[in-house]
Chains A and B, each alone.
Chain A
Amino acid sequence: MSLISARGLDKRFGPVQALDGFDLELGPGSVLGLIGPNGSGKTTALKAFLGLCPLDGGEVRVLGHDPARERKTLMSHVGYIADVGILPRWMRVRQLLDFAAGVHPRFDRERALAALAGTDVRPDARIAGLSKGMGVQLHLAVIAAIGADLLVLDEPTLGLDILNRQRFYDTLLGNWFSAERGILITTHEVREIEHLLTHVVFIHRGRAVLQAAMAEIQSRFSRLTVTGDGLAAARALGPLAERSATSGTQLIFDGVDRESLARLGDVAPPSLPELFVALLRDSEVGVLRDSEVGVLRDSEAGGPGNPNQRGSS
């Protein structure tokens, strides 16, 4: 059974078509990256999966439930972490655990305390007094104690330093993930999670531009770096996109045999941001605006995300 199954989702906010026939499938054991620039519809899609955003059209089932009608039931099985700290700041850590234990049928207080034991988060601390990194650790401890089947993460590491970002993903995969569970994640730090992902969905202007397993992406797409004479021959093979780099011209190919490419220059699998930009240039969806390319280049360069950037809606 799919953990998430979405077909033809439509959502309009006034003149903006946030979701435009959006499809997504997430199976057990998958870590799916939902990747797209600001305003592409990522957060709207996530909210629709959690029953936080009524849709204008399409069908979505999450763990077999209709999220818009059965949010309460659904949330017994789903964990959600959003881009900024969403834990109530006035609460104390102990109160948060008491609350979760009182309303959540699957919450295991001891497990949450055990997860917190390895951190600097004290049970008597007020959440407002926790650092951003500690806040995320606390939220992860709550999620781990819920034993959720599905985790939805919306820019979970935005604003965290590199150490805490790494710790976040280590904890997530080490303590929580298993073959029956699934993770849906959006982030600007594409490079950072690329190696964690099993599946990827590119979203642009509310549409899924590409939905594929990482293994498929690595076998299907190639990046060729050529210098001088090879360029004309490479162009003749029908690249999706090309651009100049310091090492030469880089061309992205879809379904072109690697051996024939290797004769022309260096061949490697493209990074996700490279592939995204290439696909967008080629797709009928439309040409990326400069600002959108900028966002992807930032993450491509592995630079720190702008903490002021919020998840798109």
Chain B
Amino acid sequence: MSRPGACIGRRWLTLLRREWWEHRGGFLLAPLAVLVVVLLGATLVLGAASSQETTLRYETQEQHGADTSTRTFEWQGSLVGLLDFRQWSKPEFERRAARFRALIAQPFVIVHFLVAVFVLLGSLHDDRKDRSVLFWKSMPVGDVETVASKLVLAVWVAPLVTVTAILLAQLGTLGLLSVFGHAAGAGGVGQLWLHAGLPAGTLTLLTGYLVQGLWALPVYAWLLLVSAAAAKVPFVWALLVPAGLAALESVALGSAELWDWLNAHLRLAALPRPPGSLLGTGFGDATAEPGVGLPEQLALLFSAEMASGLAVAALLLAAAVHFRRRNNDL
């Protein structure tokens, strides 16, 4: 009995599920592990900060003629208990909330990027190593579909899990702060939930991942190309070739165009970052407003650099498909 041809939606769902099954460890368990670490860390820090009694002493010296009198103010309590959210102005609250969201998101964003790099590097290489490529190619799935499904899962589907984990971590941390704050007698804990900006922050993250996927597409496409072409150690090739070319440019032309270009595209340019983050400072002053908002993302999306990056990515992806078609073993 043969059934009518599987429709394209079901086909793509299957291709993406197949990628998901293979890389569930990286794309699901890794963010879950980060979530656990973040929540545990927050519990420990908040626990310590709300249990240790601290004395805040504030002294002022006042001059009255020849007399100098010293006035001392003292508060006693825990660090958390001394917080009073009612005294924060709205702009200040929003700035701090943005910093908080970016700080929580940062480890997830980094872990996701690292997982995506290693998944993509292995995606067209590992099945040649264990020869299961012969099985995949014995199925009616084109090489373009194969390469595209690996890219789409790593760059646009798996981030949904990461964003969900980030949201859970932010909610969890806020919850912990509320509980510990309330217990320690901090003021205006309810204000936290009012001004944390989680819906808007999550939306920015989601759109950020969409734009980021496109912005970093030359990087992802390069990883797929190396994965499809390299006979062994794709990781080394992926690093050595661009580094070698950049070094060559530096020696031959004395310029660093390639290096700058690579740097720019490796940067998580469209994702919110805490100030002074390790991963670059693409937009504005790092010490000022943290993160990246929708306007910056839109500007990036419609920039000339984005268009040229996509053109490079298209060439690299075409080469990846070519090698995928040709190479069936190592």
Residues of A participating in the B interface, judged by any CB pair closer than 8 Å: 47, 50, 52-54, 71-76, 78-80, 82, 84, 86-91, 95, 98-106, 108, 111, 147
Contacts and interface: CB of A to CB of B under 8 A. Distances in A.
A105 B3 contact: yes
Interface stretch (B127-135, B188-196, B253-261): B127-135
B14 A99 contact: yes
A282 to B, nearest CB: 35
A82 B130 CA distance: 12
Contact of B140 (A47, A82, A101, A104): A104
Contacts of A86: 131-135, 138
Interface string B209-231: 00000000000000000000000
B295 to A, nearest CB: 40
B143 to A, nearest CB: 8
Nearest to A75: B140
A91 B127 CA distance: 12
B328 A47 contact: yes
12 contacts: A50-B137, A50-B138, A82-B131, A86-B132, A90-B21, A99-B139, A101-B6, A103-B14, A103-B139, A105-B3, A108-B1, A108-B3
Contacts of B3: 105-106, 108
B5 interface: yes
A108 to B, nearest CB: 5
A307 to B, nearest CB: 15
B135 A104 contact: no
Interface string B1-20: 11111100011011101100
Nearest to B138: A80
Interface residues of B, number: 31
Interface of B: 1-6, 10-11, 13-15, 17-18, 21-22, 127, 130-142, 326, 328
A90 B126 CA distance: 11
Contacts of B136: 88
A84 B131 contact: yes
Contacts of A73: 140
Chain A interface helix/strand/loop/mixed: loop
A105 B5 CA distance: 4
B130 A52 contact: no
B144 to A, nearest CB: 9
B6 A99 contact: no
A127 to B, nearest CB: 9
Contacts of B137: 50, 52, 71, 75
A240 to B, nearest CB: 37
A95 B17 CA distance: 9
Contacts of B21: 90-91, 95
A88 B132 contact: yes
A53 B134 CA distance: 12
A106 B15 contact: no
Contacts of A80: 134, 138
Contacts of A76: 140
A76 to B, nearest CB: 4
Nearest to A87: B135
B140 A102 contact: no
B14 A98 contact: yes
B71 to A, nearest CB: 71
Residue from B18, B131, B140 with most neighbouring chain A CB atoms (10 Å): B140
A98 B14 CA distance: 8
A98 B17 CA distance: 9
A98 B15 CA distance: 10
Nearest to B2: A106
B2 A82 contact: no
Given A108-B3, A147-B2, A88 B13 contact: no
Contact of A88 (B6, B10, B17, B135): B135
Given A50-B137, A88-B130, 6 more contacts: A86-B133, A86-B138, A88-B135, A88-B136, A91-B21, A111-B1
Contact of B11 (A102, A106, A111, A147): A102
A66 B134 CA distance: 18
Contact of B2 (A95, A98, A105): A105
Contact of A52 (B5, B15, B328): B328
Contacts of A90: 21-22
Contact of A103 (B6, B130, B135): B6
Nearest to A79: B138
A103 B17 contact: no
Contacts of A100: 139
B22 A103 contact: no
A52 B11 CA distance: 22
B277 to A, nearest CB: 35
A87 B140 contact: no
